[in-house]
Chains A and B, each alone.
Chain A
Amino acid sequence: MDLGTIIWNTIALFLTLCIFSFLYKDNPFYKFAEHLVVGVSAGYFAIILYFNGFIPKVWIPVARKGEWWYLLPAILGVMTWTRFSKKWSWISRFAIAFYMGIAVGVALPLEMQQRVVKQLHASMLPVHFMDIQGFWNLLIILGVLCGLVYFFFSVEHKGVVGGAARLGIWILMIGFGAGFGLTVMGRISLLADRIQFMREWYLMVTQALWGA
């Protein structure tokens, strides 16, 4: 194991401990690590964007190939920066309107198709009692209908509607519970990875120092 790897891993370990120190209370070590990660991420992103956006999409076409029309979207991009000026911020609206127009035009039909139509289609299931699948289908249909009834506020939630809405909130709660459980799993995974990293650091350092 070379010295560089040990030094970098030791810095990583120090930063991990700085972040963990927040669990006790806010402190300068945590603040240092937090600001460092924000700064490094922003700097890295800026450079990545420069080399993957500006250079191939503006500089090379315009300066090397003479394709001047690439300047038009670049000018639109520059126009968005006028938002920082109270006097000139109105100019940015042209660029934003252009971007919004394209984004909505591209996204709307596909969003409707993928998020609404196909999901509705998947909810139209045959209900039967020949096997367990029929029961699951019934459960899905009930879940969708009761969930929708809960968000239907034009009729007072009492009687049959109230019962359906109550079942709807139960189903929503089960969904939130599943989401929360998975979130806990995700957060513990991050902790597990850091603990594993610390163990690997310890093994690396002891091997480097004592060859054990």
Chain B
Amino acid sequence: MDFYDRLMNLDRRWVYLVVGIAVIIPVLNPFRVPVFVTQEVRSIYDFVESLESGDIMFLAIDYDPQAMAEVHPMAGAIMRQCFAKDVKLIISALSQNGPGMAEQLISEVAREFGKKSGIDYCYLGYKPYFGLVILAMGQNFRIPFPEDYYGVPLDSLPMMRDVRNYDDVKGVIDISSGNITDAWIIYGNGRYDVKLAIGVTGVMTANYYPYLASGQIFGLMGGLKGASEYEALSKQGDRAIKMMSIQTTAHIVIVLFIVAGNIGYFMSRKKNKK
């Protein structure tokens, strides 16, 4: 077995080991990589920046803890940007394992900015069957959520007194790791013409570009890269920016493995032809 054959039959654990070493290097010697902002992320930032003090925005935190690495920094940065501008937030968490995690983030950011539940934000929490919940909220938030996450009736919350449905919010930003995004596009945007932007995991990103091109969504943040772009724009948090150095070294290693694998493939094919 020559070198190229060995390259083709390399034990996958060597790949894991090399990728592992590659991601540890930036942790031991931290460095920053430049973040280039794309138009689809800037659109979301510009939208939030255009809101005025007292405006209300809907933030949908629709992911489970396993997607935190990619999309949690997006939710944190948007929430911080809104609170810094005194924009009020209505927040839901329609992914079944997400409500506790969302509550932790909301409490943390609200404490940072001295914001109060019911006055500066309203956390609705979770209700099953997200499609129906999104449809029902289009009529009135009180249909699926007569009370907020903490059990307080919506009518008794000062910021919710004159708020009925999507007509009373400036827009919806959905941060998601699953098909709840489809429900927001189909039911939220399709049925109620909600002004919608999304932040999704890397795996999902390619699937949603057609909706951006068609204007059904006005912005798109994809994975950790999207999160780092938003952090760079809003200057709220730097967790995603820090992780981009790890991402970069890992990607370089993976590209090298792909190149090596292809060289091995073509060389062994050439040898077999002979």
Q: Which residues of A contact B (CB under 8 A)?
A: 23-24, 41, 44-45, 48-49, 52-53, 56, 103, 106-107, 110-111, 113-115, 118-119, 121-122, 140, 175, 178-179, 182-196, 198-199
Contact = CB atoms under 8 A, between A and B. Distances in A.
Nearest to A121: B214
Contacts of B215: 122
A194 B166 CA distance: 37
B223 A118 contact: no
Contact of B243 (A110, A140, A184, A192): A192
B242 interface: yes
Given A110-B186, A114-B189, A118-B214, A49 B96 contact: yes
B202 A182 contact: yes
Given A23-B13, A191-B250, 12 more contacts: A106-B135, A110-B190, A182-B203, A183-B202, A186-B70, A190-B69, A191-B19, A192-B246, A192-B250, A194-B69, A196-B239, A196-B242
A182 B97 contact: no
Interface string B87-115: 00000000011011000000000000000
A179 B214 contact: no
Interface string B231-245: 000000001001100
Classify chain B: how many residues form its interface, as a range: 35 or more
A121 B247 CA distance: 37
B219 interface: no
Q: Which of B66, B97, B135 gathers the greatest number of chain A CB atoms within 10 Å?
A: B97
Interface string B155-189: 00000000000000000000000000000011101
B224 interface: yes
B6 interface: no
4 closest A-B pairs by beta carbon, nearest first, are: A186-B202, A193-B69, A122-B214, A192-B246
Contact of A182 (B19, B206, B246): B206
Contacts of B242: 196
A80 to B, nearest CB: 14
A185 B221 CA distance: 13
Contacts of A122: 210, 213-215
A111 B214 CA distance: 15
Nearest to A191: B23
Contacts of A45: 96-97
Given A49-B96, A110-B187, A190 B27 contact: no
28 contacts: A24-B13, A44-B100, A48-B96, A48-B99, A49-B128, A52-B125, A53-B127, A103-B131, A110-B187, A110-B190, A110-B191, A113-B190, A114-B186, A118-B214, A121-B214, A179-B207, A185-B202, A185-B223, A185-B251, A186-B202, A188-B23, A188-B254, A189-B243, A191-B246, A192-B69, A192-B243, A195-B24, A195-B27
Contacts of A121: 214
Contacts of B54: none
B76 interface: no
